[in-house]
Amino acid sequence: MASQHDDATEPLTESEEWLSHKVDSWVETYKKSMLTPVTLTIVAEHQPIGVAAIAEKVTAATGWHVTERGLYRTLKRLQDSGLLASADTSAPRTGAKRKDLSLTPLGTRYLAGIAENLVELPGGVPGKECTTSPAAPSPIEPAPHQQQGIPAH
């Protein structure tokens, strides 16, 4: 929100500054929590895929700048959790060693569980174009497994 403020205008009021900080804080938390499903989705769609390609696709898909360190930490955590598998390969032309990543069966199930529980803002956001498809189920309805009383795994 602070980035939307025009420097040529008046300085932010105290309440605007507070709101800007709150929004920025929420956005950073959102990005950190969404990096896992975004990364897993990219790997699932392009596997096997190298780390550099993952970084490019995360930025292309989200517009976020993800640090190399942050991405490597996320990928290591996902590998340590058994959600991603890596294979050492040689890069074309140079023969340099690199890791290609793929989703494990556990990672596939984990990603499906996340996807089942993602929600969209009901009715969209005032001032923004609504991205909810009319054919899509209402974002506030329970997931199908919750409607039928089937416990989530």
Q: Which one is predicted more confidently, 14 or 150? A: 14
| CATH number, position 103 | 1.10.10.10
pTM above 0.75, yes or no: no
In a domain, 68, yes or no: yes
In a domain, 61, yes or no: yes
> Nearest 5°: phi and psi at 89?
-135, 165
In a domain, 100, yes or no: yes
Residue 16 buriedness (CB in 10 A; 0-12 / 13-18 / 19+): middle
With beta carbons less than 8 A apart as the criterion, state whether 38 and 98 touch. Answer: no
Q: Across all residues in the chain, what is the average pLDDT?
A: 80
State pLDDT tens for residues 108-140. 999 999 999 988 878 766 666 544 433 333 333
In a domain, 97, yes or no: yes
In a domain, 144, yes or no: no
Count how many domains the chain has. 1
In a domain, 80, yes or no: yes
**Block residue for tokens 């990005």:** 31
Q: How far is 120 from 72, CA to CA, in rounded Å?
A: 28
In a domain, 126, yes or no: no
Query: Which SS3 state, helix, strand or coil, does residue 101 take?
Result: strand
- For residue 91, the enclosing domain spans 29-113
pLDDT, mean of residues 65-84: 93
